[in-house]
Structures are given as structure tokens and as C-alpha cells.
Chains A and B, each alone.
Chain A
Amino acid sequence: MIRKIGLWLVIALMVFDGRPSSGNSMELTGAGATFPYPLYNEMFSSYRRQFGLLVHYKALGSSEGIGRILKKEIDFAASDAFLTEPERKMAREAVVHIPTCLGAVVIIYNLPSNPPLRFTPDLLADIFLGKIQKWSDPRITAVNQRQSLPDMPITLVHRKDGSGTTFILSEYLSKVSKEWREKVGTGKLLKWPIGQSAKHNPGVAGLVQQISGAIGYVELTYALGNDLTMGEIRNKSGRYIRPGVESVTLAAQTALPADTGISLTDTPALEGYPLTSFTWLIVYREQNYNGRWREQAEELVKLLWWIIHEGQRYTKPLQYAPLPDEAVQKAEALIKTITYKGHKLWP
């Protein structure tokens, strides 16, 4: 009996000591983008099975993730958009953006018999500006002459929360439409002229599924996973491109800056999908913050390295595109800059 109590005491002491006694008890916490969430879900459960490290990832939207990393509440944030200047200022300390994969924002819609539709950039802009309000609008039928479109009102479904997906779409529309640029602009949280809103990528996908005549935008995997119809979008070279791993990969065939902060939308690539983007994990360069242990920082760096290498095999099954080699090299270089108390964490 006394021995039993003694054992419990030892355990209790170990727990309250707080120092991770082994890798298995270590946890990492991240939050942010819903755009790559299915991928991260796979990656992190695989990583846990492999290395025993539990990674808590909360898919709350890019803005929320950024907000939390800026408050230094989490180990990493996930975002489909680079930090903005004001956000960088709020961070006060240097951060690094580690690209994890390529994804596509796809236009999904819910129409009777779900005909395959094509969209031109200005058509998209005008639909999302609320200027085109019927599916039977001549401007839609003009590019979809083979389809019979119902005389139905268009219900816009957009994101309620601050979102990287929204950023990618609005950044693209700002590139292709002057009116959009002037009236709405680029951002994670927009003032939509009309339409209904839902939280997160799956929320938009779910709502579009529920409303006949709805149109929305989600990451490709959500469209595929929920059997939603996607539109083909005419790219810069005038071709209507179906979103997919190939067209996304083609869009990323371009030289990258050192920090990998590049916009891939409206790609000049012939067969490139115009709504393509990297998605990133955001970590502080100096990992000694908020009382974190060196071991935590080491585990984080290890995880990041794994994601850009072994983890890439999870991308294709979920229809994300793996990082191009150049991106992997740039990411490696970035990971290597991460320090703990000024000491490099990667040899």
C-alpha cells in the first residue's frame, strides 16, 4: 500500500515537474488555415504514429492562426497568405514562412444536374461583385453555350472569418478586375456587397451543398471530397483550366524569392491554374519565447523538415500539389535559420 502511494507520488512529481521526460509526452500546438487542413490532419496523424509526437492543429482560419501566433500562444500558425506589414509589426520579432504544399482555390456551385461551367476572370469578378445575379445571365451563357442554365438567382456563399482562401481569391480578382480592385480589394476579411457567409472552408462547402443556385470558393480537396462541381477558369493565356494537381503544379513553375513569399495567381503558365497558391506554416525565427523549452523548438524544426520532405507524399492523394524542388530547397534554407537562444537548431 505504502509502496503504491510512493509510486503515485513519483508519478505526480514527474508530472508537476513539467519537463518533458520523453518525446512521447511532448506536444506541439498549431492553428490557422482550413485550406490545407485535410492534408495537415493526415500529416500530423501519420507523424504521431511514426514519431509519437502529438500535434494539435486547430483549423480556425488563417486570420485566427496568425492572431494566435502573434500572441505567442502557439508553436506555429498556418496561413495561405504571407503576413501583412501591420501583422509583421505586431509580431515585433522575425518570423519565417515555411511552404508546405500547393493548393487551388476552386469555384464550386450547386445547380440542378450540375453542368460543367466555365468562367472568365471578369465574369467571376462581376458574379462576386453581385453584378450578375442570375444563372441565366447572357454573360454566363455566352461562355457556356452548350449548357442550359436555369433562371435561378445566384446566391453567393463567402467566408465569414478571416481567411487565406478569401485572400487568394481576392488577390486574384484584384489582379484581373479593376472594379474589384477599387471596390473590394485584397484581404483575408472582405466587405462583401451581397451573399451569405459561412465559417471556414468546410462551412462554405457545406452551405453551397445546401443551397440550390449557390456559388462559393473552397480549396480543391473540399470540392472533391464532397463531390461538388467545380468551374473551369480561363487563365492568362486564354485557356479554360480545370483545377488539379497538374495545373496547380504548372502554375508554380516559377522562380521563388528566398522567403518563398510569392503570388502564384493569374499565372502566365500556359496550362497553369490561375487560382493557385502556396500555403505556409509560420514560426518565429527565435524559438525562445513564452517559456518554451529547447526540446519543443527542436521537435518543431524536426516536424517542419519532415513536412517538406517525407510529408509531401500525403499531398497528391488529397489533390494538393507537392512543393517543387526549388521550394523545398528554399524551405530547407529557411528552416536552418531557426534558432533557440541564438543557437542554430538544425545542424
Chain B
Amino acid sequence: MKIGTRLTLGLSLIILFMLILICSGLAGMRKINDRLEHGLTLQNTKIWQANVIRDAAHTMDKAVLTIISTPDVQVRLFEKVKIITAGATIGNALEKLESLEQTSKGKTLLLEAKRLLSLGKKNNENIIEAVLNNRLKEAIDFYVVTQRPKAIQLHQICTELVTYEKEQIDQSYREAIHIYQRTRTAFLVIGLTATLCAILLIVFLTRSITSPLARGVRFVNRVAEGDYSPLEEEFSRDEAGVLLQALNHMVKKINEIKSLEQQLVQAQKLENVGRLAGGIAHDFNNLLTVIGGFSDLALRKVNGNESLKHNILEIQKASERAGNLTRQLLAFSRRQVLEMKIVDLNLLLKDLEKMLGRVIRENIEIKIIPAMDLGKVWVDPGQMEQVILNLVVNARDAMPSGGRLIIETTNAEVDEFFCQNHLGAVPGQYVRLTVSDTGIGMSAEIKEQAFEPFFTTKEKGKGTGLGLSTVYGIVKQSGGYIWVDSEEGCGTSFNIYFPRREGQADALTLTEETRALQLRNETILLVEDESLVRTLTSTILRGHGYQVYEASDGLEALQLVQKNKLKFIHLLLTDVIMPKMSGKELAERLISRHPDLRVLYTSGYTNEVIARHGILEDNTAFLQKPFTPKSLARKVQEVLDQ
């Protein structure tokens, strides 16, 4: 109920209380008044009538006496009329009194008066009869002995009646006083009750208005102190409730903003770490290429020195491991070169299913739920495999005592609302890949750090802490989003969104190429500013039968071509970023002269940097450093055979 309505209602009720109070008071007073008035009127009438009887009886008595005493016939006649009149008057008064009298004592008195009157009438007739018959002495005797006492008696009865009625007046007055006192008490009680009710009503009204406001103040203070949890309880429907609701809504919004901020901070942190890792990785790549390359070459010339061979092999193993690490770091920092294709994730999952089965343990049930009519995505299938594999391994490790692992694909639409709560998301059509487990789950803190490189909850030596970082980097680099939902003890699910891409899916070619390497004789122009890498690369290529010309930069390469009048070069293998002239520029110049020239770029840098040099076009061949002699040979052969 609105505060206004409540106030109106409350005040109306109070007014009503007061009105009832006034009315009941008035009614009580009126009742007393009526009673008093009625009582007084009644008793006064009775007294009056009793007096009438007494007077009339007296008149009658006097008339009889006159009749006895006067010899005048005319006087006697009128005295008789007087007696008739008095008799009728007494009769009327008695009748009236009988109709009014209700007490038994009064009735008894009336009855007696009536008896005496009728007796008196008869006596008077006898006396008059005697007088008229001139039996005067008899009349006098009769009057004195019989009638006179009766008359006195009647007089006394009337007096008694008057006294009695006066007593009655006193009594009814006392009764009225009693009623008055009772009414006063009742009025007092009603008054106090009404006042109490009014007070309670006021208190209740005030409370009902102030208490939600106080709650609001407490809530705001709490928020100010840093506790941003919103109110869960129901709000009243009045203005105070609306205010509270608005405050609550504001706090919820603040929470959302804070969450986004956190996401932003996290993203920035990952970005910074990525940049650092990427920078390190680039230099490492060159070094690792050299280490790996030369140890490989050295191995070829060991010739039976088993101890030396073992040492070189160890170097090789270490360099391979280091290479893997840098690759992962590059992946995380989104600086690796992706070979984007239109991919049907369902097909990809189908191909992977067998391998995934090998990765997980027996106590884990794996289930793949592919969506019907799943949209295509624009990703590097090889990296996609890496993503899925990493997530599956992660899920496996989260379920040490077994559980259920679900990989699910769905078409998903990302709307504005979703974007509000998910930093960086853009509305549109997406394909969602969800990997869920029923494992131990993650606490909020762990969730926050999950994608950071070298963060791991696993025992030392068991995990590199780069698995989820790699996933994060690949997804981001592919233009997708990744979010984690996790609850401690219940499990975790990773939701990855890739923008939907229209088109026919490309054929999937798995990275492991089984084609045999052949001995070749094509001419390769190698341009590499890093001398160690250049030497290694040329050594490897020559080992495979290629004729290799080396240059340390673009200008040198052009001069080389001119000086040696190289008419035919099959392949240009060039670093992308070099002083003086970029690999791209060089390639363009040479292609203008040798249109059939094939180009293979190589770089320790990542997509971003390379893209700035205008290289990452769809049909550009690219080899990421560090490369192994084998991967170099295979890539070169692949480009030449196209």
C-alpha cells in the first residue's frame, strides 16, 4: 500500500475512533438525560395526580359536611354537584395513576385508595339520603363515626402516595446518577481504548514508513563499507520499497561493473604476460633453432662415439622441450601463425574421438554431444585439436576419482545482454564448444588465475601450467571467447564461442605428414639476418640435396642474384623481419623478375608482426621458428611440390 494511502487510511481511522467516542459519549449523556427527564415527568405526574385525589377527596368531604350543616336546599344541590365532580376527578386521577404506577407498593396504595373512595361514595350517599329525609342526627353520627375516619384514611393514603412518589423520584435520581457514573466510566474506558488504538495506529504507521527507510540506510552504509552483496528479501510495494529496490538495482549494476572490471584487469594481465612471453619466445626460437639444428648435424657425425651421441641426444631432447615451451608461450601470447580454415567442429571432434579416448583414464566416461546443423567456424584445425586436447586433459586431471566428461557443440546467439556481462563479446551468431566435467571444480581465486601461464594446481612436475594459457591464446587469436563456469565440488565447464562462418568446410589434413622426404636438386635462395640460423638452415637444405645461395639481408640477396646472374631460383626462403628490406619486399622484387618463384617465409615473430609486413595472406607459406631440420625439409618440399 502506498504511504499516502496508508496515511489517509490511518488518519481516517483515528478520526473514526474520535467520532465513535464523541457519539457514544453523546448517546450516553442523552440516555441519562432522557431517563432523568422521563423519571421526573412520570413521578411529577404521579405526585400531581395524588395531590388531585387528596384535594378532591377534601372537597368531597367538605361538601358532605356542608350538606349536613346547611338547611338551604339550593346550596345542598350544588354541593351535590361538587361531590359528583370530586368523585369523577378522583376517578380520573386514580385511573391515570393506575396506568402509570408500576411498583407493587404503589399499586397497593392505589387499591386501598380506590377501596376507600368507593366506600366513601356509598357512605356519602347514605348521609345525603339521611339528610334529605330529615334524619339529621343519624347523618351526623354516620358522618362522624363512619365517613370521617375513612376520609382521614384516604387523605393519609394520598399523603403516603405523594411521599412514596417523592421517594421514587429520589431513587430514580440516584439511579440516574449511578447510570451517569457507569456511563462516565464506560466513556473513560472507551476513550482510553480509542486513544490507545490511535497511538498504536500512529506508531504502526510511523514504523511502517521509517523502518524500510532505516533498512535502506543500513544497506547503503554496508555498500559504502565495501559489502556489495544485494538484498535478497522481498520489498514492500510502497514508495520506500521502490527506493530500496532502486538501491538494490544500483548495487547489482555496480556488481556487474566490478565483474567486468575484473575481467578487464584479467584480460590486460594476460595480455601483458603474453607480450612478455612472446618477446622472450621469439629470441628463444632462433636460439633453439640453432641448438636443435646443430646438435642434429653434430649427431650425424658422431660415428660410433656412443657417449658423445648420448650427450648430443640429451641436448636435442632439451632443445625440443624448450621448443615446445616457447611454442606454447607463443600460442598463449597469440603470436603463433595460424593456418585458418573453415572447420566443422563436429567433424573435427569425430576425428579426435579416438585419440581423446587414449588420453583419459578408464574411470572417466566421455560423451560427445554434437549439435545438428552446427555452424562452421574459421579456425586453425591443428590448434583447435590442441585446444580440445588441453581441455580434456585438464578435465581429466580435475576428476582424479573418475566422473563424466561432456564435450558439446551448439549454435549460439550472443545478444546485447550477454555482451553486457562478458567483456569484449560482440553480439552475433556463434558456435559454442563446451567441455564440462564433474570434477573438483575451482574456487573463485583459482578461476581468476586459471588462464595465467605457469599457474597450476597440480603437483610440481606434473603440469607445466601452460595448458589453459595455450587454450586461451588460441581462442582469442581465433577471434573467439572463452569463459569458465565452475563450482567447487561440482565441476567445471569451459564455454568457447567462435564466430560462425558461412561456407563449405575445408578438408582436414592432419599435421603429421607421412610423406617421405626425397633428395632434391632445386635452387633455394636463403635470406636470414641471424647468421647462426642461416648457416644451420643452409646446412640442412644442402644435406637434402638443394643448391643453396645465402644472403644476410634483402639487398645482399638482390646483389647475389645479379652478381651470379641467377637465372633460375625455385624457392625463396626468407625471414620476414630483417633490417634494410623486409622479406615481403624482397619476395615481391624477385617475383617481378621470376614469376614462378615460390616463397616460404620464416619467422620467430608472431602473426601480428608478420601481418604488418603484409604476409599472412591465405596462400602464403610460412614456417614458424624454431623449426627442426625435419620440419624445415618437409615444409620446403611441400611448397616446391605445390
Contact = CB atoms under 8 A, between A and B. Distances in A.
B77 A210 contact: no
Given A206-B52, A317-B73, A317-B74, A38 B81 contact: yes
B91 interface: yes
A203 B91 CA distance: 8
Most chain A CB inside 10 Å of its own CB: which residue of B48, B55, B79, B89: B89
Contacts of B74: 317
Given A210-B52, A210-B55, A200 B80 contact: no
B268 interface: no
A224 B89 contact: no
A202 B85 contact: yes
A42 interface: yes
Contact of A224 (B48, B52, B81): B81
Contacts of A225: 77-82, 84-85
Contacts of A226: 81-82, 85
Contacts of B90: 206
B86 interface: yes
Contacts of B79: 225
A56 interface: no
Interface residues of B, number: 24
A200 B92 CA distance: 9
Contacts of A221: 78, 81
B80 A222 contact: no
A209 B48 CA distance: 13
A205 interface: yes
B88 interface: yes
Contacts of A107: none
Most chain B CB inside 10 Å of its own CB: which residue of A34, A207, A210, A222: A210
Nearest to B48: A210
A210 B49 CA distance: 9
A222 B78 CA distance: 8
A318 B132 CA distance: 16
Interface in A296-323: 317-318
A41 interface: yes
Interface string B122-165: 00000001001000000000000000000000000000000000
Most chain A CB inside 10 Å of its own CB: which residue of B73, B78, B80, B132: B78
Given A210-B52, A317-B73, A203 B81 contact: no
A206 B89 contact: yes
B56 interface: yes
Given A206-B56, A210-B52, A225-B82, A42 B77 contact: yes
B88 to A, nearest CB: 3
A199 interface: yes
B81 A199 contact: no
Nearest to A228: B85
B138 to A, nearest CB: 17
Interface string B53-94: 001100000000000000001100111111011111111100
A41 B84 contact: yes
Contacts of B52: 206, 210
Given A206-B52, A206-B56, A210-B55, A38 B84 contact: yes
A243 B77 CA distance: 19
Interface string B93-112: 00100000000000000000
A140 B89 CA distance: 29
A37 interface: yes
A203 B77 contact: no
A38 B52 CA distance: 22
B92 A38 contact: no
Contacts of B48: 210
Nearest to B55: A210
Nearest to B96: A198
Interface SS of B by simple majority: helix
Contacts of B80: 38, 41-42, 225
A215 B574 CA distance: 151
B84 A37 contact: yes
B77 A199 contact: no
A318 B91 contact: no
Nearest to A200: B88
Contact of B88 (A202, A224, A317, A318): A202
B92 A203 contact: yes
A26 to B, nearest CB: 20
Contact of B92 (A34, A59, A207, A318): A207
A209 B58 CA distance: 14
A195 to B, nearest CB: 15
A317 B72 CA distance: 11
Interface string B23-65: 0000000000000000000000000100010011000000000
A45 B73 CA distance: 15
Contacts of A203: 88-89, 91-92
B89 A318 contact: no
A42 B80 CA distance: 10
A34 B91 CA distance: 14
A318 B82 CA distance: 12
Contacts of A206: 52, 56, 85-86, 88-90, 92
B93 to A, nearest CB: 8
Most chain B CB inside 10 Å of its own CB: which residue of A34, A41, A201, A202: A202
Interface in A191-249: 198-203, 205-207, 209-210, 221-222, 224-226
A202 B77 contact: no
Contacts of A200: 88
B577 to A, nearest CB: 132
A230 B89 CA distance: 19
A219 B90 CA distance: 19
Nearest to A223: B81
A222 B91 contact: no
Nearest to A316: B74
B81 A222 contact: yes
A317 to B, nearest CB: 5
Nearest to B76: A317
Given A222-B81, A318-B77, A202 B87 contact: yes
A310 to B, nearest CB: 17
Most chain A CB inside 10 Å of its own CB: which residue of B87, B88, B91: B88
Contacts of B129: 45
Interface in A18-45: 34, 37-38, 41-42, 45
Given A221-B78, A225-B81, A225-B82, 15 more contacts: A37-B84, A38-B84, A41-B80, A41-B84, A45-B132, A59-B84, A198-B88, A199-B91, A200-B88, A201-B88, A202-B87, A205-B85, A222-B84, A222-B85, A318-B78
**Which 7 residue pairs across A and B have the least CB separation, nearest first?**
A206-B89, A225-B81, A202-B88, A202-B85, A225-B78, A203-B92, A203-B88
16 contacts: A38-B81, A41-B80, A41-B84, A45-B129, A198-B88, A199-B88, A202-B84, A202-B87, A203-B92, A206-B90, A210-B48, A210-B52, A226-B81, A317-B73, A318-B77, A318-B81
Interface of A: 34, 37-38, 41-42, 45, 59, 198-203, 205-207, 209-210, 221-222, 224-226, 317-318
